[in-house]
Amino acid sequence: MEKASLTFAWPQWLPAAAAAVAVLLLLHAWTAKRGLHRLQGVVAPRLRDQLLRSVSFGRRWIKAVILALATALLIAAIARPQGGFQRVTVDRSTVDFLIGLDLSRSMLAEDINGKSRLEAAKESIAAFLDRLGADRAGLLAFAGESFIAAPITQDHEAVKRNLAALSTSSVARQGSDLAKAIQLALKTFETGKYETKALVLITDGEQLQGDAHIAARDAARKGLRIYTVGAGSLNGARIPPEPEKGDLGFAHNEFNREVVTRLNPRMLQQLSAAGDGLYETLGDEGGGLQAVFDNGISTLAKKARETKPSTDLRELFQWPLAAALLFFLLEMLISDHRKTVRPTRA
């Protein structure tokens, strides 16, 4: 950052400083001349010399000049001179993490306050990002395969835009492979420089492929914490059709029976334990994600103190103010009387 030159926050006061010097000096000259003129009119010349012999007109002018300068400096201080940027010391405490969103068809089940699990999860993530602050978050989407939907960033609005575009159609391969999601998150953190490593999986816990527990333990050994947020209800719900894909009825299994999908909290609790994290239920109000962050992820924050330039200019008013006070004091200490009085002629 370039060094700023001297400026004034209120430069409109500067003409008043120049005017004050001129006015005070002119006023001193006028009052001195007027005083002598009046004295000449009422006092005889010899007596006038006796009255004025102890007065030093030179010192009076010095006092007037000092008083004018003090006033000008006081007005300059009011104008708030500024120069150079401040350097401030701040405590920085941030975390970096990924939010993994399940895009499998079971997330379409509507058992969260009349909403689908996916809709409730997306609303919860969006609200959470609005409150996040300076922490960096990214978005990982998974089903039978996984991909990074938004890189880890402080641009939470960009993450929200990518979040809004996600649906079960965003993945070509359906299923629910939590292990692949964990492995992709681990790879993402290993290829970049991050303050912390954490993955929050928002899912109903229906694992159809892979071994997520083994993947979670491996990730934890490498410093990646795994947190889980359960979306859904224990009673479960049917998986609605997807007309755009040609589905006309609720999902059926291989025995031609309607599939009822249920939240599997035990599996998610075991998964978070293996990943050295914790588990929360998303809940009707979507507070599970915030609870995981407050009670788990935020505690990973690495505090660091750094000194950095500020956009605020350094205030310099104290210097002309101090000089003005010194000049006022000096003006009071200087006497306008001579130290030795000239003898009067007989």
Which sequence spans correspond to the domains of the chain?
Answer: 7-86+311-333, 96-300
Q: How far is it between the farthest Cα atoms of the chain?
A: 141
Q: Which residues contact 132 (CB under 8 A, 6 or more apart)?
A: 156
- Write down the pLDDT at residue 304: 45
How far is residue 82's CA from residue 316's CA, in Å, rounded to a whole number? 5
Of 65-79, 259-273, 304-318, the range with the lowest mean pLDDT is 304-318
Provide the b/e sequence for 255-291 (b: ≥16 CB within 10 Å). eeeeebbbbbbebbbbbbbbbbbbbbbbbeebbbbbb
Q: Is the domain defined by 96-300 classed in CATH 3.40.980.10?
A: no
Q: pLDDT class for 2, splitting at 50, 70, 90?
A: very low
- pLDDT(185) > 60: yes
Q: Cα dist. 103→14, 196, 198, 221, 244 in Å?
A: 66, 25, 20, 27, 16
Q: pLDDT class for 96, splitting at 50, 70, 90?
A: very high
- pLDDT(145) > 90: yes
Among candidates 238, 231, 262, 263, which has minimal Cα distance to 252? Answer: 238
- pLDDT(251) > 70: no
Q: Do 39 and 47 contact (CB within 8 A), yes or no?
A: no
Q: Do 238 and 108 contact (CB within 8 A), yes or no?
A: no
Read off the pLDDT of each residue in 195-216 and give the average, rounded to a whole number.
Answer: 87
How far is residue 141's CA from residue 273's CA, in Å, rounded to a whole number? 22
The per-residue pLDDT of the chain, averaged, comes to 84
How far is residue 29's CA from residue 101's CA, in Å, rounded to a whole number? 85
Structure tokens at 157: 């609005």
CB atoms within 10 A of CB 173: 11
Q: Do 196 and 152 contact (CB within 8 A), yes or no?
A: no
- pLDDT(109) > 60: yes
Q: Concatenated DSSP letters for 55-76? A: B-HHHHHHHHHHHHHHHHHHHH
- Write down the pLDDT at residue 35: 72
Read off the pLDDT of each residue in 158-186 and give the average, rounded to a whole number.
Answer: 93
Q: Which residues contact 190 (CB under 8 A, 6 or more apart)?
A: 222
